[in-house]
Homo-oligomer: A and B are copies of this chain.
Amino acid sequence: MALRDVKPDLRNEEGTVAVLGILKQTFGERFQTGQSFREQHAHTTTYLPPQLPDGVVFVESSDDVKAVVSACAEHRVPIIPFGVGSSLEGQVNAPSGGISMDFTRMNKVLRISPEDLDVTVEPGITREELNRELRATGLFFPIDPGANASIGGMTATRASGTNAVRYGTMKDNVLSLTVVTASGEEVRTASRARKSSAGYDLTRLFVGSEGTLGAITSITLRLQGIPEKIGGGVCAFPTVEAACNAVIMTIQMGIPVARIELLDDMQIRACNAYSNLSYAEKPTLFLEFHGTEETVALQSQQFAEIAADCGGDEFRYTADAEERAKLWNARHNAYWAGRALAPELDGLSTDVCVPISRLAQCVVETQADIAREGLLAPIVGHAGDGNFHVLVMFDGKDPASVSKVEAFTERLSRRALAMDGTCTGEHGIGQGKMAFLEEELGGSVDLMRAIKRSFDPGNIFNPSKIFRMT
């Protein structure tokens, strides 16, 4: 299999030997070089082939992180920060070897201020763990990328997910970070104030930098009050255009939907089979509304009118918690439902995001492409943001199948770029989308390289991700 640009890079053998010795001595059992540890930290949900690190260190504190960074910086050995490994574009691969820095044990809530609606956590905590810890406060952290990702990983990938349409992405919800940089120093990017004009926005620079600029050691997040009332529902449409038009009108009217998700007919078929449901096999929107009794009722009624205007079927609303859970479990399992359409095949989950006015056209052209190529590829999208995913099934052992899926995702990315969209709304560039980043942003990528060079002159932090330095 030769998917994309994932050939191994030059390794620093001598430096690696030195670092392995130092880390063994410093961390003892918390440093592992066995094959199974190394495989666990390269085998992720990505479609890209694994590239193993030389060792895995389980850090427990900022001081641990500093010690690893100092050793790796001195000997010019790569560091690959690792959360839970749910990234999709090869972000945790180790193409030049090096040390996987596992944050699983740095998973504490460091402080909560319910009165300020914020919290500071270590990067290894997952979003589900965080929300469990928050429950007693009446607050929650809204970003939900589907996977039970770590907050550190979500920060590094600028993650978002189903309710970004209401609550924004990680860039909108991180107030401040502490980061250990290549010099081994820990810096703080911002105060805990809600807004600031104090200097360059380093917080937003580290958010989405995919571990290439430093190791995040703590994250201060904005929180939201748990809504008094949550309602939701399902609405099927005769065509994808009709469903997209309902989304566009909903956004334009300023209805503050919490979730508005598009599933195409193939995805509905997969969900019906996987989650034992019986939705009509038509393009469908899943919605959720957050607010008070009155506002949720008002919003769902407004949406029902829009859906009717767009030729949709009846909007099936529910405020019943169990029914809602069933609905959103089905949505969250969309990936696995898709994979179950062809369990013998590999799956590539890709994502693009376009201005919302182009969403219908982009989805329709992509469906036509899928049909033309005879691909098995359900579509599911965070339609309110103009963001959608295609899960393309392929046979990783068959070069023809690999070429076909590569060509398809290239066309998809270029289609999004031609509509003034982006090659990735939330999965990041990693190893898989470097070529498209260059096409999308041209000369800006040289500015990114300049930042990388100035922050990390030895190129130790997650090298050969996002862009190549040479």
Contacts and interface: CB of A to CB of B under 8 A. Distances in A.
A454 B456 CA distance: 12
Contact of A441 (B158, B188, B467): B188
A157 B198 CA distance: 9
Interface stretch (A75-83, A123-131, A245-253, A335-343): A245-253
B294 A196 contact: no
Interface string A232-252: 000000000000000010011
A108 interface: no
Interface string A423-451: 11111110001001100111111111011
Interface stretch (A94-102, A112-120, A399-407): A112-120
Contacts of A357: 113, 115-116
A177 to B, nearest CB: 10
A355 B309 CA distance: 45
A190 B417 CA distance: 11
Interface in A204-220: 204-205, 207-209, 213
Interface of A: 113-118, 157-160, 164, 168-169, 171-172, 181, 185-202, 204-205, 207-209, 213, 224-225, 227, 248, 251-254, 292, 294-295, 298, 353-357, 385-387, 416-417, 420-429, 433, 436-437, 440-448, 450-451, 453-455, 466-467
B437 A199 contact: yes
A193 B425 contact: yes
Contacts of A224: 254
Contacts of A188: 441-442, 444
A170 to B, nearest CB: 9
Given A202-B448, A420-B191, A440-B191, A196 B425 contact: yes
B205 A200 contact: yes
Nearest to A114: B252
Contacts of A115: 248, 252, 356-357
B195 A387 contact: yes
Given A205-B204, A353-B196, A387-B194, A444 B189 contact: yes
A199 B448 contact: yes
Contacts of A451: 200, 451, 454
Contact of A421 (B193, B355, B467): B193
